[in-house]
Amino acid sequence: MRSLETVELTKSFGGVTAVDAATVAFQDGKVNALIGPNGSGKTTFFNCVTGMIRPDSGRASYRGQDITGKAPHRITRAGIGRSFQLCRVFPRMTVLDNLLVAVRAGGLKAQLTSARDRAEIARARGWLERMGIDHLERAEARNLSWGQQKLLELAGVMMGDPETILLDEPAGGVNPALLERIAGLVRQLNQEGRTFVIVEHNMDLVMGLSDHIVVFDRGRPIAEGPPSAIKSDPRVLEAYLGV
Amino acid sequence: MPSGSEATRRAGGVLRLAALLAGAGLLLSFPALAPNPYILSAGITVLNYAVLSTAWSLVGGFTGYISLGHGALLGLGAYGTGLLITKAGLPSFVALAAAAAIVALLAVPVGFAALRVRGASFVIVSIALVLILLLVFQSWASFTGGSRGLVVPRPFPDLTRPEHHRVFFFLFAGLLAAALATWWAIDRSRFGLGLRAIREDEDKAQALGTPTFAFKLAVFVVSAAFTALGGGLYALWFGDLDPVFQFSVLTGAYMVLMALLGGVRHLFGPLLGALIVGWALEWFKLQYGDTPLHLVATGLLLGVVVMFMPDGVIPALSGLLARFRPGEASIREVTAAELPASQARGPRA
Ligand SMILES: Nc1ncnc2c1ncn2[C@@H]1O[C@H](COP(=O)(O)OP(=O)(O)O)[C@@H](O)[C@H]1O
Ligand SMILES: [Mg+2]
């Protein structure tokens, strides 16, 4: 099946063209990586395809369905979840409530029922256990360490049961042990059928984890392929690895 | 879950219910205890403030959108009620309900425009709304009575003055109960959790699938309806409206102050704030007459609250109490020690 795709997607901020007519297709069921130097437009690309920013021109689609300019919550409900580059959680809410926010409930009646639904709490606990932070369920999110907040953010994204998950620098600022755990989680979740698109600077992680890599430079893809090909692509070496 | 904590929770619940009943009893016996009609009418004013600050906190508290424009909704509710009685000949309480419904309807386009901007821009848009309406109601004198005011006929012309006050005390108490019940119902719902998520991080809430704009608009409409009911009931009680007092940025500022002072994270926070600020205002008026002094006091108090008690007096006081209890290690300290172990291989392994 077709996954997340863009055609000539463009977004400028003043004089800076952050994403420049980017035409990209990610592979369904795979771990995709989106790499590129700082400022090459990776985060802006994520923001455009998740509806956080409206692109100036071009189109984005998911599983063949047009999602250009749709509201973020609609795109989330279409099955795309995302994390933020600077990990974002609800600081004054408990860990459990952080997850319950992501419960999908349609209709007025569902919205007016208790947020603390037993079945949803059980599901949330399942994700917290998987992330290894279930003992923190009642803690306020702001009291968690950075690494725990990263895991909490991931648990929150998973609570929405996304088929495709965009992670913006999941390894940013985390220690090697946690990095290993996050990589393990991504691998497992992918084996369970979820698609990933990961923006990451840690090359060991990217090369070890991904099936398909797209390389960005100045807002557009300059190369794509499996890790083995990307590693030796001269354009990539020049633009990104600075060799 | 250990049964000990379950028992403590149940005991806490019983305690809270007892406190609630005692509070309600005290409130309802106030008219009987009030020594004179002046004190009784001051009590009504405070109740009216409590309705307004609770209504305000539905938007300002849950979503963090600080509206200084609720004075406009209040004024529309008051004038709507008065005009529907005097110009359309509706019975008093039908006019009140109709005015609230109209204001709720009007809140849709207003919210549509205002809730698109965040932070300081929203505050300014909300102030602009009040000033525009003030101008309209002042200059359209043929319809609104302008600055000469609008006299609203009493709903119960046969009652004596003290009886009139007594009836309205209970009407305001009923409206307050409805506003509090609404706050409570929203707070425990998914809708309420979504609203609190908006307060914490609107983009993140949206990314997790919350239809943030629809949520903000919905709660704004509910808040507007209660604010209009507060204004309309005031019109029926007081019987005389003046645009300067009805469409006032100051009223909006009072609502903000009361809600923030009492604390918007707690059901009874805005009510508590209204009790404190409302009585203080009445006391100031009694002591010093209508001077700008209460303006200065309001401004100062607002500054102190925002800077030193961002969560209001309830958490500030319970924080103070907690200092006298045996300490408990903060979560961060515990987890810092736990982290390496849990990273090595899940905490349960
Ligand atoms: N909100 C914004 N306003 C102005 N410029 C922005 C904004 N977001 C990103 N940019 C600019 O767009 C370019 C791409 O940034 P970004 O997408 O964050 O890159 P990356 O995530 O690849 O590091 C940069 O030059 C950055 O300064
Ligand atoms: Mg980035």
Domain residue extents for chain B: 35-272
Beta strands in chain B (DSSP E): 150-151, 240-241
Q: Is residue B155 pLDDT above 90, yes or no?
A: yes
Amino acid A10: pLDDT: 97
Average pLDDT over residues A89-104: 95
Pair (A187, A215) in one structural domain: yes
Alpha carbon distances (Å) from A58 to A37, A69, A128, B126, B165: 23, 10, 38, 36, 65
Average pLDDT over residues B260-272: 90
Counting from 1 in the atom list of ligand 1, the atom nearest the Cα of A168 is 21
Contact residues, chain B, for A102 at CB < 8 Å: 208-209
Amino acid B291: pLDDT: 73
- Average pLDDT of chain A is 93
Q: Which of A51, A101, A145 sits opposite B332 (nearest CB)?
A: A145
The band of B325, judged by pLDDT with boundaries at 50, 70 and 90, is low
Average pLDDT over residues B314-324: 73
The band of B10, judged by pLDDT with boundaries at 50, 70 and 90, is confident
The band of B326, judged by pLDDT with boundaries at 50, 70 and 90, is low
Verify whether the Cβ–Cβ distance A160 to B200 is below 8 Å.
no
Distance from CA of A237 to the nearest CA of B (A): 34
- State the CB neighbour count (10 A cutoff) for residue B114: 23
Average pLDDT over residues A105-134: 92
Which residue's CA lies nearest to atom 1 of ligand 1? A13
> What's CA A155's distance to the chain center, in Å?
12
Pair (A40, A97) in one structural domain: no
The residues, ordered by sequence, that sit 6+ positions from B130 with a Cβ below 8 Å of its Cβ are B68, B69, B71, B72, B75, B247, B248, B249, B252
Counting from 1 in the atom list of ligand 1, the atom nearest the Cα of A46 is 17
What's the DSSP call for residue A237?
Answer: I
Verify whether the Cβ–Cβ distance A52 to B194 is below 8 Å.
no
Counting from 1 in the atom list of ligand 1, the atom nearest the Cα of A45 is 17
- Residue from A111, A151, A175, A180 to probe the interface with B (highest B Cβ count within 10 Å): A111
- Residue from B9, B188, B190 to probe the interface with A (highest A Cβ count within 10 Å): B190
Q: Contact at 8 Å (CB) between A162 and A131?
A: no
Amino acid B333: pLDDT: 39
Amino acid A242: pLDDT: 59
Distance from CA of B65 to the nearest CA of A (A): 17
Domain boundary among A160, A189, A208: A160
In a domain, A63, yes or no: yes
Q: Contact at 8 Å (CB) between A136 and A53?
A: no
Amino acid B13: pLDDT: 84
pLDDT digit string, tens, across residues B170-182? 999 999 999 999 9
Give the residue on B whose Cα is nearest the Cα of A162: B208
Range of the domain at A119: 92-160
- Average pLDDT of chain B is 86
Pair (A11, A115) in one structural domain: no
Beta strands in A95-225 (DSSP E): 164-168, 195-199, 212-217, 220-225
In a domain, A86, yes or no: no
Amino acid B297: pLDDT: 78
* More confident call, B14 vs A9: A9
pLDDT digit string, tens, across residues A172-223? 888 999 999 999 999 999 999 999 999 999 989 999 999 999 999 999 999 9
Q: Which residues lie with the beta carbon below 6 Å from any ligand 1 atom?
A: A 13, 16, 18, 36, 38-44
Q: CA A226, CA A204: separation in Å to the nearest integer?
A: 14
Give chain A's domain count: 2
Pair (A155, A166) in one structural domain: no
Contact residues, chain A, for B197 at CB < 8 Å: 90, 93, 101
Q: CA B113, CA B287: separation in Å to the nearest integer?
A: 42
The Å distance, Cα A73 to ligand 1 centre, comes to 22
Pair (A48, A7) in one structural domain: yes
Counting from 1 in the atom list of ligand 1, the atom nearest the Cα of A216 is 22
The band of B342, judged by pLDDT with boundaries at 50, 70 and 90, is very low
Domain boundary among A106, A134, A160: A160
Residue B144 structure tokens? 């609104």
Counting from 1 in the atom list of ligand 1, the atom nearest the Cα of A41 is 17
Contact residues, chain A, for B343 at CB < 8 Å: 132, 147, 175, 177-178, 181
What's the DSSP call for residue B65?
Answer: -
Average pLDDT over residues A128-149: 96
The Å distance, Cα A39 to ligand 1 centre, comes to 6
Average pLDDT over residues A129-154: 96
* More confident call, A60 vs B122: A60
Verify whether the Cβ–Cβ distance A145 to B331 is below 8 Å.
no
Verify whether the Cβ–Cβ distance B204 to A100 is below 8 Å.
no
In a domain, A223, yes or no: yes
Amino acid B338: pLDDT: 41
Please state, for a pLDDT cut of 70, what percent of chain B lies above it: 91
Amino acid B255: pLDDT: 92
pLDDT digit string, tens, across residues B194-210? 999 999 999 999 999 99
Which residue's CA lies nearest to atom 26 of ligand 1? A39
Report the residue among A17, A43, A47 best suited for mutation to probe ligand 1: largest number of ligand atoms under 8 A from its CB.
A43
Pair (A74, A167) in one structural domain: yes
pLDDT digit string, tens, across residues A43-95? 999 999 999 999 999 999 999 999 999 999 999 999 999 999 989 999 999 99
Report the CATH number that the domain containing residue A74 is assigned in CATH.
3.40.50.300
Amino acid A55: pLDDT: 96
Amino acid B3: pLDDT: 52
Amino acid B189: pLDDT: 96
Distance from CA of A140 to the nearest CA of B (A): 9
Cβ contacts of B342-346, under 8 Å, gap ≥ 24: B342/A132, B342/A133, B342/A135, B343/A132, B343/A147, B343/A175, B343/A177, B343/A178, B343/A181, B344/A177, B346/A129, B346/A132
Pair (A111, A9) in one structural domain: no
Average pLDDT over residues B327-346: 40
Distance from CA of A69 to the nearest CA of B (A): 14
Q: Contact at 8 Å (CB) between B84 and B98?
A: yes
In a domain, A34, yes or no: yes
Verify whether the Cβ–Cβ distance A135 to B204 is below 8 Å.
no
Domain boundary among A130, A145, A160: A160
Distance from CA of B48 to the nearest CA of A (A): 27
Verify whether the Cβ–Cβ distance A72 to B206 is below 8 Å.
yes
Predicted TM-score (pTM) of this structure: 0.90
Q: Contact at 8 Å (CB) between A195 and A26?
A: yes
